[in-house]
Amino acid sequence: MNYVCKYDSPIGPLYLGEEDGHLTHLVFSKADPRLGGSVFGETSLLKQTKQELDEYFAGTRQSFSIPLRAQGTMFQEQVWGKLLEIPYGETRSYKDLAQSMQSPGASRAIGITNSRNPISILIPCHRVIGQSGNLTGYAGGLAAKQFLLELEQKHV
C-alpha cells in the first residue's frame, strides 16, 4: 500500500509518498497525479523524513538517510542519480550534467527529466541552474529554488 502525508515546510506544503519502505515522492501539490491511489497516513519512514527535513531546513543536515525509490526510464534514473552527486551548497548547469553523462547534447532532455523529479529536495534538482548562472524552472517555483540554494550556501 502507498502512503502519503503533508509536511509544512518554509517553502510551503510538501507531500511525501512512501511505498514498501522507500520514499517515492516529495512533491509540491497533493493533486499531483503521481500520488494517485495513496492513502493519507503517517508511517515511521514518513515521520523520519519529516524529521530529516526539519533538520535540513534548520541548517543542521546536509544529507539524507531516507531510502529512495524514484521510478522512471533508465535515462531519468541516470539523471536523478547524477543529481544525488551534486554536493550540498553547490550547483551544476544542465550542460555540466550532460557532459558528466558523456551526452553533451542532452542538456534539454536533462532539463525535462529534472522537471519530472519525483523526490524534490532529497534528489536535489534545485541545485541545477542555467549555463549563465541564472535560476531556471523549479516545480516549487523560483522563489522556493532560491530559498533552498541560499539556505545551503548559508550552512556550507
Q: Can you tell me the distance from the alpha carbon of 49 to that of 107, in angstroms, rounded to the nearest whole number?
A: 31
* Local structure of 84: helix, strand or coil: helix
Give DSSP secondary structure letters for 100-122. Answer: HTT-TT-HHHHHHHHHT-SBTTT
| Cβ(46)–Cβ(18) below 8 Å | yes
Contact at 8 Å (CB) between 55 and 61? yes
**Residues with catalytic function:** 125
Q: Locate all alpha helices (DSSP H) within 9-141, ordered by sequence.
A: 44-58, 74-84, 94-100, 107-115
